Structure 1
Amino acid sequence: MPRFSKRVGREVLEGHPRLPAWITKERVKLSDLHAMKKDLRESHLHTVCEEARCPNRTHCFTQGTATFLLMGEVCTRACGFCSIRSGKPRELDPREPAETAERVAALGLRFAVLTSVNRDDLPDGGAAHFAETVLAIRRRNPGVGVEVLVPDFLGDLEAVARVVAAGPAVFNHNTETVPSLYPEVRPAGRFERSLAVLRRAKALGTSLYGSAFRTKSGLMLGLGETEAELATTFQALAEADVDILTLGQYLRPTRHQLPVRRYVSPEEFADLGRQAKAFGLRTVYAGPLVRSSFNAHEVAEMEGVSIA
């Protein structure tokens, strides 16, 4: 049996499985990231690509794309899988919506993705800031599609409505894992609460924008979930009218996050993608290095979202 040791308040698995070839072939080239990182720093902006150590950041940055991380780089939660710093965040930067819109213009993006840290310290969880940023991008960049990847707003469905009313093309909220693993992986989250967020977004978005509005969610694999649990989760997401599902391999950002229990092969990802579609999830993007916002514009186009 694997042995565990305690380090910095996290369980760290000794002798965890080696990275397979389908993971190690994708190397992050730091030299390729320098120009994009410098540009973002000068704009006082953050990206989840850097803060969460995404394995795809070389690909996205060299393509001139990034997922903007709103409301600072400090999160009010401490999820077991995430390397973003936890603590007391700073006050919101009122310049951020306009600066994000300007950066979208400067990069010539056709599709912009916005996410954030959890801001449970704010009365609305940051929903108004999300909405203001979406509106700023749409004013400055007519025709550019916007995807939001939002937290659960502690279940505040009025906060969900405020974001949807700003007019994102895709509303994304990740359930992250199967319900049984929430206490370890996402201790401040609740699976049913996340489903309620997705259901509310879909119902309101459809009433406001018709069939063009899309909802999306994502799961990480390799944390200890079973195939039966995944099937139950696929069914729950389909019943919440989720349109798009991403399935990717959990990769431990640093030794202080949860260990990888196993690496899922590309062939198994393809099979799970087919299973998810069988439950009624129309578009499923599955693979070891798939992340919620990776190639988000391509996934949106698969779903018929109009992009400039």
Structure 2
Amino acid sequence: MSLGVEYRQKIPSGAAFFKVTGAIEELRLNTVCEEAKCPNRTECYAQGTLTFQILGDLCTRRCGFCAEKTGRPLSVDAAEPGRVLEAVLKLKLSHVVLTAPARDDLSDGGASQFAAAVRLIKRESPRSTVETLTSDFEGNDLALAAVLESGPDVFNHNVETVRRLTPSVRAKATYERSLRLLARAAGFGGPKVKSGIMVGLGESLDEVRETFADLCDRGVTLVTVGQYLRPSKDHLPVQKFYSADEFRDIRKMAHGFPFKNVFAGPLVRSSYHAGEMIESGDTLLNSLRPDSND
């Protein structure tokens, strides 16, 4: 089928793009932009922004939507937070996003590595805001506390889809566990709490509305909504491609809840324009087509 112009992706180009890719290669770092085949990586790199993926490139889970590789991860690299900081300083990043594959092989799910990186960035680059995008830590409250106590400005955990579809989309996670994690993060009283969903997996708009209500009730204030794009034939098939107008309708639906900011658009992803999202105001981001914002 033919998709609208809002689904078009840019060709890599520009000095900023190659500065980012060069720094990643030089410092032996991973980015979720590459590992998850994010459709916005060209645009973000050209703007000098990226999302660091710490704790390796192998995930202990195999979610039906995700392009991350699954396998037995390597041991934790204690020097990694320092290399992330070096990249932050070299690229002069004002907003830093840290994520990781699910590390169920670790007793704390990798929380201590998140905490070490956050503290180091906060100490050595105090003007940079930091966002952590984590797994559910299998419901480990101590792991969650370790991340929150390190002082991130934004705590992000995606529910990914509506309640009904969670078992098929996120087989090793539960919808309720994710909601509980978000509620505890909001109750901590520190960072802004963020979550996101994909559409196009077979959900109804009523279910999207119910998900917004669930997130709102748990204290989430920042929300992203993007189109699910199938990484390969081995992943879940796309049930529906939403148009730009349908994403506007979803954003208007979200206005019925007291969220501080909602980004919605075909190519919107969890970390897309993340630094802008923590600023005031509400925006419809139609990824790669800023002229279509309203």
Q: Same fold (TM over 0.5)?
A: yes
Give the structure 1 partner of residue 264 of structure 2.
286
Give the structure 2 partner of residue 140 of structure 1.
124
Give the structure 2 partner of residue 125 of structure 1.
109
How far is the alpha carbon of 1:275 from its aligned partner? Answer: 1.0
Tell me how far apart the structure 2 counterparts of residues 36 and 254 of structure 1 sit (CA, whole Å): 26
How far is the alpha carbon of 1:170 from its aligned partner? Answer: 0.5
Give the structure 2 partner of residue 258 of structure 1.
236
- Which of 12, 16, 23 is equivalent to 1:29? 12
TM-score by length of 2: 0.92
Give the aligned residue type for 1:265: S
1:235 aligns with 2:219: no
Change (3 A) 1:31 1:223: farther
Give the structure 1 partner of residue 45 of structure 2.
61
Contact 2:7 2:266 in 1 (8 A): no
Change (3 A) 1:284 1:92: same
Change (3 A) 1:24 1:275: closer
Helix, strand or coil for the counterpart of 2:107?
Answer: coil
Contact 2:20 2:91 in 1 (8 A): no
Long gaps (5+) in structure 2? 283-294
Q: What are the within-5 Å matches in structure 2 for residues 46-195 of structure 1?
A: 46-195=30-179
Write out per-residue CA displacement over residues 226-267 of structure 1, whole angstroms, 9 at most, x where no aligned residue.
111111111100100101000001111222221111111111
- Which of 251, 254, 261 is equivalent to 1:273? 251
Helix, strand or coil for the counterpart of 2:232?
Answer: coil
Give the structure 2 partner of residue 42 of structure 1.
26
Give the structure 1 partner of residue 285 of structure 2.
none
Helix, strand or coil for the counterpart of 2:164?
Answer: helix
Helix, strand or coil for the counterpart of 1:123?
Answer: coil
Tell me how far apart the structure 2 counterparts of residues 224 and 122 of structure 1 sit (CA, whole Å): 33
Helix, strand or coil for the counterpart of 1:103?
Answer: helix
Contact 2:194 2:223 in 1 (8 A): yes
Q: What are the within-5 Å matches in structure 2 for residues 219-230 of structure 1?
A: 219-230=197-208
Tell me how far apart the structure 2 counterparts of residues 24 and 269 of structure 1 sit (CA, whole Å): 13
Tell me how far apart the structure 1 counterparts of residues 258 and 23 of structure 2 sit (CA, whole Å): 41
Give the aligned residue type for 2:102: N
Tell me how far apart the structure 1 counterparts of residues 178 and 69 of structure 2 sit (CA, whole Å): 22
Helix, strand or coil for the counterpart of 1:68?
Answer: strand
Greater alpha carbon shift after TM alignment, 138-147 vs 250-259: 250-259
How far is the alpha carbon of 1:68 from its aligned partner? Answer: 0.1
1:20 aligns with 2:9: no
Give the aligned residue type for 2:271: S
Count of aligned pairs between the two proteins: 281
Tell me how far apart the structure 2 counterparts of residues 299 and 28 of structure 1 sit (CA, whole Å): 25
Give the aligned residue type for 2:275: H
Write out per-residue CA displacement over residues 180-202 of structure 1, whole angstroms, 9 at most, x where no aligned residue.
11121110110000011101111
Change (3 A) 1:103 1:164: same
1:295 aligns with 2:277: no
Give the aligned residue type for 1:288: P
Contact 1:216 1:244 in 2 (8 A): yes
1:214 aligns with 2:192: yes
How far is the alpha carbon of 1:221 from its aligned partner? Answer: 0.6
Contact 1:134 1:166 in 2 (8 A): yes
Asked which structure has the greater RCO (Cα within 8 Å, sep 6+), the reply is 1
TM-score by length of 1: 0.87
Tell me how far apart the structure 2 counterparts of residues 184 and 137 of structure 1 sit (CA, whole Å): 37
- Which of 162, 186, 189 is equivalent to 1:202? 186
Change (3 A) 1:36 1:138: same
